[in-house]
Amino acid sequence: MKIRIIIFFTSIVMLTNCQDYLAVVPDGVATLENAFTNRTNAEKFFHGCYNYLPNMESILNYPGFMGGDDRWWCPTQGGGWDDNGNGQRIARGLQNISNPLQNFWDGGNGGKNMWVGIRDCNIFLENIDQVANMQNWEKERWKAEVKILKAYFHFYLMTLYGPIPIMDSNIDVSAPPDEVKIFRAPVDDVVNYIVRTLNDALASDELPLKIDDITTEYGRLTKAAATAIRAKTLVWAASPIFNGSYIYYRGFKDKRDVQLITDDYSAAAIQARWERAATAIKNAIDTCHLAGHALFEFYPGISAMSDTTIRKFTIRGAVSESVANYNNGVIWALNHGNGQFQTVQTPALYPTDGGEVARISATMKMAEMFYTRNGIPIDEDPYWEYENRYETQVNDTAVLGRWHRYYISEGETTAKLNYFREPRFYGNLGFDRGLYELVNIPEDETIVIKNRVGETHGRRLQDHYIVTGYFIKKMVSIRIPAPNTAVSGGATTPNPPRYSLPIIRLADLYLLYAEALNELKSQPDNEVYEWIDKIRTHAGLEGVVESWRWSSKPYRVTDRDEMREIIKRERLIELAFEGQRSFDLRRWLDAETYCNQPVRGWDYTGARPETYYLTTVYFNNRKFTYKDYLWPLSQSSLTINGNLVQNPGW
């Protein structure tokens, strides 16, 4: 078998020679020449294409996590957790062109070179048909999956960099220099290419609607996932970042004078974009329903527990429960572990806890973002003590009733900010004197978080602590072994059970559909409300119309612009901490508003309520400007390939 030697640019600028290929073929395959001589080697190459997916289990290096405004870190020294982590530096405005952080264009500083992943996808597609000992149906399925991966890699690069080169095939080694130094394609061309590639994959009869054998195939791509990726691609094309409405991109052209992001921001053009997106989202939802996907509901089995605790497990389990535990709300998830990812957000539950435990916390802004129990913002609820939210209150049943029985420890003092909030507040966040529920701990023995200095979950001897006072419960498995539970090897500090982090959930699509429908109508109506209300009902709230009757601003649900903000907030709440927030804030062009605010929390050095419950600013120098909506290309890439242009502002 003869394989044509081809070249690709590791950074779309630098030639890759034959020896470079020897470094990227899968383990056990000596050279590219024998990568497709048999099914075993071809399968290794096939799985190797999946390995270029962004690593969501790395909380320091996935763009959706530490670079936004929802998490903050314990500023201790060593172990990569101090202020020099890549995500932390981006949050402080230290992204740069000389050595870009989380560089997914060239690779490095926590980023993977996704062009190499695209190159390998092309190599696979060009050669898989030559494998002799494979059945055609399996080849066709693998090809469909790799086409989806290639489309997704283009999509992911587009969300970070905007206009990118389209690499549908690799460049021949004999290509002249003018063909090697390629240009960035306009965003609309990239979008259309991604959609065409996904449509091609979806046309395959061998691509499964869903994964049936989760033991051996979980994490592989399906028709449901492909339609969801297509929908999200078209949503980005319709959103303010790419729909022509952002003034800073109207003169963004390459050296051929080609406009790289549309400058047609007419109402008709934007309407057409949202119509296309809405059609794709509804198709994705229908496909996902056909595949059996549904919003996750936790079932306690034979265990006796309250509806309140079941709701909290439902909220957390929507992310951390596996398909084996009947979580059909996940459309596509990475099939790797995330032990460290969870550990750094977990309270010190065990006597020997140390190491990376309790280092990443939620910002107070996130605590204030969740609704009151009436399902509306805390500053719109006239029945909630907004002006006194930083004061403290004893959880006295005689005064407050039994509402907080499964939320806050009876007789304990905590901030009024933590009282009378919606179920997602308690499902997402742990806080001082709040309850931290686990499946294998009876309700009457539920862990009480005690986070003041010197207490069980407060500042540790290792100088690790939850600096803001808010633990991120949602992203930690509900199935951590209880303290003093026997675990394998006699360990006294068991790690949380690993789970596959969702890339796309069904709730994401529901809220995107509400967003698209709202953009298409002059005034929101029942069709818009239907899709956001599915999420709210699942979270234990009334629908938007019913809830906003309690609000000081009841008119908001009848106005398209106000409804847009309500839908945005619903996404920020429902998908909180999952790595989606920073992408949405950039897509909406809202990041400058959110990501320049100070990081606030309680005073972790306080030992008593009167010294702990003091609002404290921990960082007041975050920096996000107009140029940060698109990440920079490295200066070396621009120097080597003169046909590339830099993103605006860099």
Residue type, 607: A
pLDDT at residue 30 tops 70: no
From the CA atom positions of the chain, what is the Rg in Å? 25
Q: What is the mean pLDDT of residues 318-325?
A: 86
| CB distance 181 to 255 below 8 Å | no
Closest CA to 123 of 201, 30, 8: 8
pLDDT for position 500: 86
pLDDT number for residue 2: 45
The pLDDT of 165-188, averaged and rounded, is 87
Q: Is the pLDDT of residue 175 over 90?
A: no
pLDDT above 90 (res 457): no
Confidence band (pLDDT; 50, 70, 90) for 530?
A: very high
Q: Please, where in the chain does CATH 1.25.40.890 lie?
A: 6-54+112-294
pTM (2 d.p.): 0.94
pLDDT of residue 3 exceeding 60? no
Q: Residue 99: CB partners within 8 Å, gap ≥ 6? A: 108, 109, 634
Distance from C-alpha of 515 to C-alpha of 408, rounded to nearest angstrom: 35
| pLDDT confidence of residue 485 | 56
Mean pLDDT of 231-242: 98
Report the pLDDT value the prediction gives residue 21, as an integer from 0 to 100: 30
Beta bridge partners of 28: none
Over residues 84-92, the mean pLDDT reads 85
pLDDT of 282 above 90? yes
Q: Which residue has the higher pLDDT, 446 or 347?
A: 446
Least confident of 262-266, 425-429, 621-625: 621-625
**Across residues 76-80, what is the average pLDDT?**
48
Percent of the chain residues past pLDDT 70, beyond the cut = 89
Interatomic CA distance for residues 617 and 350, integer angstroms: 30
CATH topology of domain 6-54+112-294: 1.25.40
C-beta neighbour count of 610 within 10 angstroms: 10
Higher pLDDT, 226 or 501: 226
pLDDT tens for 372-403 read: 999 999 999 999 999 999 999 999 999 999 98
* Residue the block writes with tokens 């190491």: 355
Per-residue pLDDT at 250:
93
Runs of H (alpha helix) within 51-112: 86-91
Residue labelled with tokens 């099939």: 335
Query: Can you read off the two tokens belonging to residue 269?
Result: 């053009």
CB atoms within 10 A of CB 215: 7
- Report whether 360 contacts 369 (CB < 8 A): no
Residue 8's pLDDT is: 47
Query: Residue 19: what pLDDT?
Result: 30
Per-residue DSSP letters for 146-189? HHHHHHHHHHHHHHHHSSB---SSPEETT--HHHHSPPPBPHHH
| DSSP state, residue 414 | E
CA of residue 290 relative to chain centroid, distance: 25
Count CB neighbours of 5 within 10 A. Answer: 14
More confident residue, 619 or 197: 197
**Residue 18 pLDDT exceeds 50:** no
Query: Does 340 or 614 have the greater pLDDT score?
Result: 614
Q: What is 459-474 written as a DSSP string?
A: S-TTS---TTSEEE-T
Q: What is the pLDDT of residue 546?
A: 98
The share of the chain scoring above pLDDT 90, in percent, equals 73
* Placement of tokens 């907004």 in the chain: 386
Higher-confidence residue of 491 and 541: namely: 541
Averaged pLDDT of the chain: 89
SS3 of 355-411: the string is: CCCCCEEECHHHHHHCCECCCCCCCCCCCCCCCCCCCEEECCHHHHCCCCCCCECCC
Lowest mean pLDDT among 4-8, 98-102, 426-430, 435-439: 4-8
N-to-C CA span, the chain: 47
CA distance 45 to 147: 14
pLDDT at 619: 87
Closest CA to 629 of 86, 112, 161: 161
Which carries the bigger pLDDT value, residue 541 or residue 492?
Answer: 541
Decide if 331 contacts 542 (C-beta within 8 A): no
Question: Is the predicted pLDDT of residue 418 greater than 70, yes or no?
Answer: yes
Q: Which of 201-205, 318-322, 391-395 shows the lowest per-residue confidence on average (mean pLDDT)?
A: 318-322
Q: Can you read off the two tokens belonging to residue 219?
A: 């994490």
At residue 322, the pLDDT reads 83
pLDDT above 70: residue 582: yes
Confidence grade of residue 276 (pLDDT, cut at 50, 70, 90): very high
127: number of Cβ within 10 Å: 17
Strand partners, 436: 447
Distance separating alpha carbons of residues 212 and 210, to the nearest angstrom:
6
Highest mean pLDDT among 84-98, 144-158, 612-626: 144-158
- Sequence-ordered list of residues with C-beta below 8 angstroms from that of 597, at least 6 positions apart, any chain: 69, 365, 622
pLDDT of residue 626: 96
Confidence of residue 460 (pLDDT cuts 50, 70, 90): low
For residue 249, pLDDT beyond 80: yes
Query: What is the pLDDT at residue 358?
Result: 77
SS3 for 19?
helix
Nearest CA-CA partner of 198 in 295, 283, 290, 320: 283
Would you call 27 helix, strand, or coil by DSSP?
A: coil
Lowest average pLDDT, out of 132-136, 295-299, 452-456, goes to 452-456
Instruction: Specify whether the CB–CB gap between 299 and 523 falls below 8 A.
Output: no
Mean pLDDT of 11-35: 48
User: What pLDDT score does 20 carry?
Assistant: 34
Concatenated DSSP letters of 501-548: PEEEEHHHHHHHHHHHHHHHSSS--HHHHHHHHHHHHHTT---HHHHH
pLDDT number for residue 647: 98
